[in-house]
Amino acid sequence: MPFPNVAINDLYEAYDYIIIGGGTAGCVLANRLSRKPDVTVLLIERGHAGDSWQSQVPMLSSHFASDGSQSRVWTTAPQTHIGDREIQVLGGGSLGGTSKINATLYTRGLPAEWNSWAQISGGEQWNYENMEEYLLKSEKNLDKNLEGKHYHQVAGEWPHRSFPISWDHTVQSVLIKATSSLGLPYIEDLNSPYEPAHGFAKLHFCVNKDGSRASTSATFLPQQLVKTRSKHLHVCLNTVVHRIQIGAEKEKPRTEGVWIQASDGSGSPRLIHTKNEVILAAGTITSPQVLLLSGIGPEKHLEEHGIPVTKNLPGVGSHLQDHLAVPVQFQVPMNDCILKLRTQIWLIIKEFFLYFFFGLGMLINASTMDAILFVQTRLLDEDNRVSAYSKVDMDARIPANLPDLEVLPIASADESILKKAKTKLGGLTLYSVSLRPESKGTIRLTSSNPFASVSIDPNYLSSQADRDLLRKGIRLSYKLKAQMLEQGYPITDLHTPRSTTDEDLDEFIDKECVSVYHYSSTCRMAPEGDGGVVDSRCRVYGIEGLRVADASVMPGVPSVHLAAVTVAVAEKCASMVLEDAKGRAYS
């Protein structure tokens, strides 16, 4: 059954609300703003519906296991601080955005994350006490034994659950013991506000009861809902936004509408008017691009591209942040590695049978992991143990306690490296991830043409502190390997630095570091004088009737994976939009 798409020529002349971008946040916004039949909403998505059967299988729909049709791929500018390497950048390429291609991880962030957000933005409504309502609003927790856990709920649209430790049970159980021996606790519920501020945590995944991927398009904008609301909610796919039309008023110009065109360049651009607001939810890469094309951004940059300046707002496209990771690869028994699927064909048949008939097995896990390690490196001693800490150090409400390092265990390794090593063993990769980077980059136009790609420069490792953190992460990975060996687990080096000297670690970091695809903060929420683009109500400074609500508004990249945080941003923004509309007649 085809998705109920509305062609450009069939759109209304005007809508109460226009949402630009049908990704992780945009689907949530469209659902919430269209609940009343007398309110018209238009959702504009650059990509297609992306509703094939593969898009519903978590492992097969992740970017790295799919055909790439659901993804947008860019490359960064040469990165000066890592030997001029160009790093791959990924975004969503269909309705549902990155929630269609990611690892399905559901991580809300510690209360400290939200309390820090409130401090930076100057908006107390973003602290954890106030944001818990929006974290809960869409949650459908499928786990058992939730009685008395007020910080979870089961009635929302967006399901998530944890898995029993399964195919990599041996690795995970050994890692739990290894981390515990270093003074890092095991955390059963990563999304509880009452757990310690760091530890080895069991993961939760956005997966339905039947094992299908719970993307935001599937849960917030299913076909039946869009059909039911077809008179007042329109979804326009395969459509590019040229720019936002803004009035000529000198004092607080107002958003008037959006210029759109088919993404293949056919047809003429068309202006669709808004009666109330435009909400930009095109993601960290494209949201600033649309603002820049609309004359909102750094004055000199706009003038370079011949774009009339509507609002000189230097923060647009600035403060780009991302989590950078360095993979250290080890050899482990093939039975503990996902690559066994390629060496034992009968296993593939078994896994497909388990998935399609029972919603079980490896295919429901897009990330090939069940747990993750979060660390406050300031608490590690020279032997990489947490040797001394107080109750205050483990208080998850205090911003100073936010973890700055993540160790991400993936039950696999680079097949080409395994082949070169001429081994029949499998692989285990420990990714060291810098969670609180100081490095900041930019998104800039390359042209005033809306179909042109942008220049993406994350400026990775421009801060020495970020490099120092990755060194600590690699050394901690070696320590974890040593602890696993002590338990008698067979693990040996596969692709590792030549030594643990600073020089050899730096050489390895420069050659091997990769993005974790957690881009944020290019339209950040902060005071305008501090490089902010939106205020604490997601409103673009100096422009009436224009908001941004996606990962680009985060004051800095959070110490978690971003999907759950992005959904909470959309929930909060939708609530504020409707709150501001009360008592205002729709014109």
- Integer Cα distance of 29 and 329 in angstroms: 41
From residue 168, alpha-carbon distances to 163, 361, 411, 412 in Å are 12, 11, 7, 10
Answer yes or no: is 98 a known binding residue: yes
Q: Tell me how far apart the terminal alpha carbons of the chain are, to the nearest angstrom.
A: 35
241 is in an annotated binding site: yes
CA–CA dist 391, 374 (Å, integer): 17
H or E segment and range at residue 128: helix 128-137
**What CA–CA distance (Å, rounded) separates 281 from 135?**
18
Question: Angle 502-512/464-486 helices, nearest 10 degrees?
Answer: 100
What's the chain's length in residues?
587
Tokens of 570: 């959309």
305 counts as catalytic: no
The runs of H, that is alpha helices, within 5-57 are 24-33
Measure CA 330 to chain center. 27
- Respond yes or no: is residue 518 known to be catalytic: yes
63, 319, 495, 561: the catalytic one is 561
- The residues, ordered by sequence, that sit 6+ positions from 344 with a Cβ below 8 Å of its Cβ are none
> To 5 degrees, how large is the angle CA 550–CA 33–CA 94?
50
DSSP state of 183: T
> What gap in Å lies between CA 41 and CA 33, rounded to an integer?
7
Element (H, E) at 284: helix 283-293
Distance of CA 553 to the CA centre of its chain: 12
List all residues 6 or more positions away from 139 whose beta carbon is below 8 Å from its beta carbon.
Answer: 152, 153, 154, 156, 158, 160
Question: DSSP assignment, residue 366?
Answer: T
The answer to whether residues 45 and 574 touch, using CB atoms and an 8 Å cutoff, is: no
Those residues whose C-beta lies under 8 Å from the C-beta of residue 53, and which sit 6 or more positions away, are none
Q: 472 near 511, Cβ under 8 Å?
A: no
Q: Rounded to an integer, what distance in angstroms lies between the CA atom of residue 289 and that of residue 272?
A: 19
The tokens describing 368, both together, are 């090939």
The three-state secondary structure class of 556 is: coil
Structure tokens at 176: 């739990």
Point out the annotated binding site. Answer: 98, 241
Point out the residues that are catalytic. Answer: 518, 561
Point out the annotated binding site for FAD. Answer: 98, 241
